[in-house]
Amino acid sequence: MFQEALSAGILSASQLNWEDEQDVKVATHHHRKMSTSSLLAHYSPQLRDDQVQKVDKYLEHFRLSDQTLMDVSLRFRREMDKGLCRDTNPTAAVKMLPTFVRSTPDGTEQGEFLSLDLGGANFRVLLVKVMADGKQKVEMENQIYAIPEHIMRGSGTELFDHVAECLANFLEKLGIKDKKLPLGFTFSFPCHQTKLDESILLSWTKAFKSSGVEGRDVVSLLRKAIRKRGDFDIDIVAVVNDTVGTMMTCGYDDQNCEIGLIVGTGTNACYMEQMRNLDMLEGDEGRMCVNTEWGAFGDDGALEDLRTDIDREIDAGSLSPGKQLFEKMISGMYLGEIVRLILVKMAREQLLFQGKTTSELLTNGHFSTSYIYGIENDKDEEGIVNAEKALCSLGLDPSLEDCIATRRVCQIVSTRGAHLCATTLAAVLRQIRDNKAAEKLRSTIGVDGSVYKNHPEFSRRLNKMLRRLVPDCDVRFMLSQDGSGKGAAMVTAVAFRLASQNAERQRVLDTLRLSREQLLEVKKRMSEEMARGLSKQAHDQSSIKMLPTYVRSTPDGTEHGDFLALDLGGSSFRVLLVRVRSGKKPSVDMHHKIYSIPQETMQGTGDELFSHIGYCIADFLEYMGLRGASLPLGFTFSFPCHQTKLDEGILLKWTKGFKASGCEGQDVVRLLKEAIRRKQDFDLNFVAVVNDTVGTMMTCSYEDPSCEVGLIVGTGTNACYMEEMHNVELVEGNDGRMCINVEWGAFGDNGELDDFCTHFDRTVDECSNNPGRQRYEKMISGMYLGEIVRNVLLEFTAKGLLFRGKMSERLKTRGIFETKFLAQIESDRLAMRQVRSILQHLGLTGSTCDDSVLVKEVCSVVACRAAQLCGAGLATVVDKIRQNRNLNQLSITVGVDGTLYKTHPHFSRIMQETLQDLAPQCQVTFHKSEDGSGKGAALITAVACRMKNEEHH
């Protein structure tokens, strides 16, 4: 027993029953046994090596180096790109056809599906039952029907009538004619697919010649034939190519399967591609299976340097010269023929059979590819015996040397096929790996086809070379069971699952979508609440407080001087020196220092807190060389206050973790004045207590005088605007204007938003620190959007519509889905990579590409609603200003600040579109504010000083 260098086969040799070959023309069984044993009597490793060397030298062009194979793989990757790109696709050899299959099975598919497999003189009808209850199981019943020759060559109407009749017969036999079942249709002819259920036949092949079908959609022809009968109805969901069917069948058993491969009579592959790379189609979310049609690789000359004279001869003698050149080097239809031509050539050059040929050897197609499977048996002796049988069947009288040489020819030809197949597969794997930006890719390839299944060494050689070409991919091959039948049912089952899951998800998301009518209603109700907030009688009952700010004017550019600003709104606070200069080019120059407030001071006594602030101001003046200077000061105090004058703010309640005692109900300006008086080494001239929304408006109006509205959309949300004094009933005087701090976050606290709130909003509200308060803010601002999204994701997962129904413990944690994730997810142009890493951070390690698309959709619906609600609020405010001034058209600028507005990729656009739609008579410009709380406070102080001086004059 000799060990051949290439042995160690994975598959056991498929023992071909050579005795059954009709054309074996050798004398008798007895003689064959004799000659075989006598043939092997002279066998020696030396003899084998001599023959192997001779053949290797003769066929050196067939033996491709690793370097060459790597190069072919890169060429194929370029061909894939050409096929995917809209501009180059028309001339690309590798067509990369979209299949409209959007997902692989996830194991939750269930139901009964019909499958129709039409690809030859017989066709099959199958009933496939898919079970998902804990154990994935598939049961199938099928029936084969013949297509008579006269129908294959008759009219298309006859053909589809025949198919419909067989379908009816099948349904009747199973007693399911009254059910309307979904059907998947495997139609194995060249088609141009335009939708999952629409496929236009380009040309008939394989002896079919039905008239009136080419150039038409085969699904509508089949539907028409079924309708005409009227005795049953089915729902044709998908047209499927057999390669895709192969991937889907394996994908049901192994969810890492995203490539389908066929190496049989022909060869082809398909794989799951990112939509954004499919230039030919609209949309860039999620994935779609692409049918590469790689048999045509090289039809544009890309493989000319590798093709041998034998390849050219094969092509010239084929039914389709110049087409499918790659396939002709690999697939079962051609491997035997390549070997035959090599044997003829070697005989003619006196290298085999003592220079003799026979008419059988010279006849096209007489060396069957199945001979190769037997000759390449992993046992040397059996392989040689099989070679002798094959050669004798061609009327030759081979010597032992001839048999050894023939075996070597078969090995070289099929090894080249396996290696070339590895190059294109490697390119596909690299594409998938790059799409996922993965260091290492784990992937399963679903395979079918007679060469892969029956050749004893093909799969092992393919596998081994693939590992050499893509060492960073961990690849497993899985044999497909009935890709064209079960596969078509799987495609249908997945399409069905996606459709029903999508309908259920949209039903939930629709509760978060607002119609134009609803937005107009929000505007109307807010307008009513604002009027109540301004009126003396209704003010106390109104949810929107419309607080007077005592800011009477916006900057006019003549402000001049040095001002101090304090900005207190969190655990750190700032002291700023702001130098405002008037003249031809008004300018603002700022210096500041940040001080922290220790936790124990935030929660100690008011005296301690304000003494600490006083100490920091003294330090800052010292630092700026202004010790002892008395400067006007603006104080941004971002806590709920009641103002009765510009320089007085009564603290209503502490928020944001502050708990200093003895402050609530007190005037914060007085508390700070007293603290400074205790220090006594400097004096301050208090001018203004400022809310950050008003600061935002003032900062912007310094640069754009038409800015009369301030808007904040960040952690919280609020707005302010310049109101006519005669509408402000809470403050004496009717002349001029005053800035009103709307405090619109509390809109809805009297139930005005109840009919727009979803159960997600109610959950978020109930779990918040202030249930029942700030209802409008909770639908809009950054502090809450992530929480709304998290609750939607929880519901989707519980219903099995997301993450395959597997709940992550981390996702159950309140606040874990940060609002900044919404901005990151929606600005994701990186094929969902951002989404994936965020989901992994949330403990969802098994999330799929489809999950990422869904999470993005949820984020987008929640953010869109927030932006629309904010737009409706803003429309109320600008329309009020327009009506106050009796204008038909108003041009106005809004100063905006806040992280949500500034960092979210779509918020500002959607908000502006809503505003435009709901307040069409207002021309609104947006101006992003820089430092409303610091610079804004100083500018309010500067305006107040300017107005004081004007009054004195």
Residue at 874: amino acid letter: L
Give the whole-angstrom CA distance, residue 257 versus residue 263.
17
Give the whole-angstrom CA distance, residue 876 versus residue 525.
9
Tokens 């040929």 sit on residue:
357
Overall size of the chain counted in residues: 953
Give the whole-angstrom CA distance, residue 593 versus residue 577.
9
Is 638 among the catalytic positions?
yes
Nearest to 369 by CA among 450, 291, 459: 450
- Which of 574, 775, 836, 882 is labelled catalytic? 574
- Which of 73, 638, 808, 933 is labelled catalytic? 638
| φ/ψ (deg, to 5) at 796 | -60, -40
Q: Which stretches within 189-308 are classed as H helix?
A: 218-229, 242-253
CA dihedral 95, 101, 102, 105 (to 10 degrees): -130
Burial class (CB in 10 A: 0-12, 13-18, 19+), 253: middle
CB contact at 8 A, 288 and 273: yes
Give the whole-angstrom CA distance, residue 351 versus residue 345.
9
What secondary structure does DSSP assign to 755-804, as a single string? GG--HHHHHHHHTSSSTTS-TTHHHHSHHHHHHHHHHHHHHHHHTTSSGG
Give the whole-angstrom CA distance, residue 66 versus residue 72.
10
- Which of 692, 761, 851, 897 is labelled catalytic? 692
Query: SS in 3 state form for 543-566?
Result: CCCCEECCCCCCCCCCCCEEEEEE
Helix (H, G, I), strand (E, B) or coil at 597: coil
Is 199 among the catalytic positions?
no
Give the whole-angstrom CA distance, residue 116 versus residue 673.
87
CB contact at 8 A, 33 and 26: no
Query: SS in 3 state form for 507-518?
Result: HHHHCCCCCHHH
* Chain-centre distance for alpha carbon 697: 40
Q: Which residues contact 603 (CB under 8 A, 6 or more apart)?
A: 658, 659, 660
CB contact at 8 A, 186 and 222: no
Cα–Cα distances in Å, from 339 out to 59, 310, 391, 408? 11, 9, 12, 10
Q: Is 868 left (phi over 0), alpha (psi -120 to 50) or beta?
A: alpha
CB contact at 8 A, 892 and 874: no
Helix (H, G, I), strand (E, B) or coil at 684: coil
Tokens 């015996």 sit on residue:
385
Strands (E), 264-406: 267-274, 287-291
Tokens representing 827?
A: 């600005």
Nearest to 513 by CA among 863, 165, 50, 265: 863
Is 692 among the catalytic positions?
yes
Give the whole-angstrom CA distance, residue 121 versus residue 479.
25
The catalytic residues are 574, 638, 692
